[in-house]
Amino acid sequence: MSTVGAARPRIEGRLKVAGAARYASDVPMPELAHGWMVTATIAKGRIRDIDASTALGLPGVLGVLDHRNAPRLNPRAGNYFGPDGSLQLLQDDVIPYAGRPIALVVAETPEQARAAAAALRVTCDAEPHDVDFHLAHPAARPASTAFGPEADTGDVDAELAAAAVVVDERYSTPEESHCALEPHAATVWWADGHVYAVDSNQGAFSVSEVLSALWSIDRERVHIRAEHVGGGFGGKSACGPQVILAAMAAERFGRPVRIAMTRAQVFEATASRPPTEQLVRLGADADGRLRAIHHRAAYALSPLAEYIEWCTEQAKILYAAPAIRTQLTAVPSTSCRRPRCAVPARRPARSPWSRRSTSWRSGWRWTRWSCACATSPRTRPCRDCRSAAAAWFPACGRAHAESAGRPGTGVPARGARARC
Amino acid sequence: MLIGSGMATTSFSAGVFPSSASITAEKDETFTVSIGASDIGTGARTALTAVAADALGVGTEQIRIRIGDSDLGMAWGAGGSRGTTSWSFAILEAAKKLRENLGDSVRPVTATVDTTTMINFQPDRERQTYSAVFAEVAVDPATGEVRVRRLLGMFAVGRVINPLLARSQVIGGMIMGLSMALHEECLRDPRTGRQANGDFAGYHFAAHADVPDVEADFVPDYEPQDPSGFNGLGEIGTAGTAAAIANAVWHATGTRQRILPIRLDRVLEPATAVDVAGELRVA
């Protein structure tokens, strides 16, 4: 009998209901120190000063990391779309959104770290913020078409004019939080130039790639485990602040460091689903047959990284109207914190894993080749990438690095494009 | 109470991304399957064990599965409704390769595959899952409160690997859709720019009392683009549910709800919906 199609309870179910399954903040670890995130309380501005003198004198405190003393990260580390500023924690004095981690207090116990975090005196210069969001916002701009072009078939205006019935409505969905049962957490340690993490994420391999890019080390030196994860829903698809900050602290203090976010920190410092505003115009014959679909939609975009909230996609593919037009708009907003992971329908055009993406219409074929490094989209296949069986970026990175002098990091240096 | 029923249908993008997998035939007749998959509560570990057993022609008790570790090699994450299809593809190919070597008596023997090339050269075709969701609501005309009395979802998601886990997952998705319809919204204070309801006291989502009767089932289906007929079902449960509930509210009250969530004030005072939309803009 086939094992596929058979109803079976989950293998680890007993471990989970008995409380024996270990999540990222449960792993026993000798010499463990605890990090506590301090987050921005203003929506936009600059840090003037972080006075840690009181905090450093409190019991059990090992130290405070902020933008003045944190390890430097590679600014070109990114996601599918390219460099991602939301990964660049503690790198400068800029506050791009409320809830941005701006310091990490490290202490012997979580309680001591929390108490010291409360004693940190942060002064900021606030700048005017704009959390307004709507389709006609002055900052609105066309969304990225990296997942394929807008639909523009037929004559929408003519079909609407000829339609017996027209529906023209506005729809709104709010910003939403993922609210996974397990708050984001990571336990991180370094040994012999390798970094090890037990992290709450949705893809250990991609987190290892991002972390290796941030630290400019071989991916083989980054070991991410996520044996049990208590929900993600897209909110844990990126390399989370918990693992980046804990890796910084573990490196600095030479000890394993754990960060377990509070629920409030998850709300303010991790990814959310952006709000949307959508205008839909439909034209139909008297018998209900669709003649025209005009779908204009806007979503809030983090100012730190590109992202596509793909809410016009179904208008393109699900209906057979003779005229379909979609217009997707991005509104950069300080209300938007971090990008969620955006997933193209087809193979990512610029992911480390593949190099080709085509459009939603079989008649229209959009082929884009890019080098496996996210920073240099190309119109031709990269010879090195194509020939590499594994086809992810160490192969290509080495090719870049020959001219850039950073062998095997997978991180192309500036000016290395010409090689790919 | 005003009673209404509504339904919605939709589709959701499906597909496959490159992954790598290794399978080792051990000395004791068992198989160790290693893949950088993630089980974020979906039951991926259990589903992939069944896929591996099926591909190797053995019982699940002979499969030892290792997941959730970047050292296990390149793999797509649990996201975009593409985890199970991407990982299953790699496991199937590794099993195929291993079976070619099983004639040799040397143990342990390992087969490793990377599906990048295979997937990059697949023809590009539209690939979708489909759903029809039915909702029955009761609306209190005095308070504007909407209660969902019943939800039913029917899904075409390719061949179902484990009906127990699949049903749990799409029911979870439907509850998420119910939550989207009636409860969830981050409210931002325009003065400070901070979220005003960033905790479980202020950010509402469905609890047990909100979901009295939720049912889901699958229609027989087979995805022709997948070697095993599979499709992802991570997100299709959610898609369509909020629209079905909004349609049921219209059926009960005669008023269209086009702003989510369908809060009490929006039900009671639909005439001021434009103002509420204005308020939402700063949310």
- A333: confidence class by pLDDT, cuts 50, 70, 90: confident
* B2-12+125-281: CATH topology: Aldehyde Oxidoreductase; domain 4 (3.30.365)
Closest CA in chain A for residue B202: A264
Q: Is A277 helix (H, G, I), strand (E, B) or coil?
A: strand
Q: Is A218 helix (H, G, I), strand (E, B) or coil?
A: coil
The reply to whether B243 touches chain A by the CB within 8 Å rule is: no
Q: Which DSSP letter does residue A131 get? A: -
**pLDDT at site A343:** 54
Instruction: Sort out which chain B residues have CB atoms less than 8 A from A222's CB and list them.
Output: 70
pLDDT greater than 50 at residue A31: yes
For the record, the structure tokens of A72 come out as 């430097």
User: Which of residues B273 and A39 earns the better pLDDT score?
Assistant: A39
State the catalytic residue, choosing from B145, B235, B269, B279.
B235
Instruction: Sort out which chain B residues have CB atoms less than 8 A from A206's CB and list them.
Output: 77
CA A73 to chain centre: 16
Q: Which DSSP letter does residue A105 get? A: E
Q: Is A101 within 8 Å of A90 (Cβ atoms)?
A: yes
* B17-120: CATH topology: Aldehyde Oxidoreductase; domain 4 (3.30.365)
Give mean pLDDT, residues A8-16.
96
Distance CA A190, CA A221 (A): 10
Q: What's the mean per-residue pLDDT of chain B?
A: 93
| Domain B2-12+125-281 identical in fold to domain B17-120 | yes
**pLDDT at site A99:** 95
CB within 8 A of A321, min separation 6: which ones?
Answer: A154, A159, A290, A291, A292, A293
**pLDDT at site B120:** 82
Give mean pLDDT, residues B202-231.
95
Give mean pLDDT, residues A95-101.
94
CB within 8 A of B142, min separation 6: which ones?
Answer: none
Give mean pLDDT, residues A357-383.
29
Q: Do A5 and B159 touch (CB under 8 A)?
A: yes
Q: Which of residues 216-245 of A touch B (CB under 8 A)?
A: 219, 222-234, 236-237
The reply to whether A14 touches chain B by the CB within 8 Å rule is: no
B235 given a catalytic annotation: yes
Instruction: Sort out which chain B residues have CB atoms less than 8 A from A133's CB and list them.
Output: 281-283
**pLDDT at site A182:** 97
N residues, chain A: 420
Q: What's the mean per-residue pLDDT of chain A?
A: 83
pLDDT greater than 90 at residue A27: yes
Instruction: Sort out which chain B residues have CB atoms less than 8 A from A4's CB and list them.
Output: 50-51, 54, 159, 161-162, 228
- Full-model pTM: 0.88
Q: Which of residues 78-137 of B touch A (CB under 8 A)?
A: 78-82, 114, 116-117, 119-120, 124-128
Any idea where the domains of chain B sit in the sequence? 2-12+125-281, 17-120
**pLDDT at site A397:** 32
- A211: confidence class by pLDDT, cuts 50, 70, 90: very high
In the numeric block, the tokens 């047959």 are attached to A289
The percentage of chain A sitting over the pLDDT mark of 90, rounded to a whole number, equals 73
**pLDDT at site A392:** 27
Q: Which residues of A309-319 are buried (b: 16+ CB within 10 A; e: fewer)?
A: bbbbbbbbeee
ipTM of this predicted structure: 0.94
Beta bridge partners of A278: A171, A297
Give mean pLDDT, residues A191-217.
97
- A340: confidence class by pLDDT, cuts 50, 70, 90: low
Distance CA A394, CA A397 (A): 5
**pLDDT at site A399:** 32
**pLDDT at site A389:** 23
DSSP calls for A355-392: -----S-TTS-----B-SSTT-B-SS--HHHHH-SS-S
The reply to whether A126 touches chain B by the CB within 8 Å rule is: no
Q: Is B130 helix (H, G, I), strand (E, B) or coil?
A: strand
Give which of B70, B119, B258 to mutate to test A binding, by max A Cβ within 10 Å: B70
B260 closest CA partner among B176, B174, B182, B188: B182
pLDDT greater than 70 at residue B249: yes
pLDDT greater than 90 at residue B279: no
Q: Which of A187-191, B149-153, B274-278 has the lowest mean pLDDT?
A: B274-278
pLDDT greater than 90 at residue A380: no
The reply to whether B29 touches chain A by the CB within 8 Å rule is: no
Distance CA A102, CA A42 (A): 11
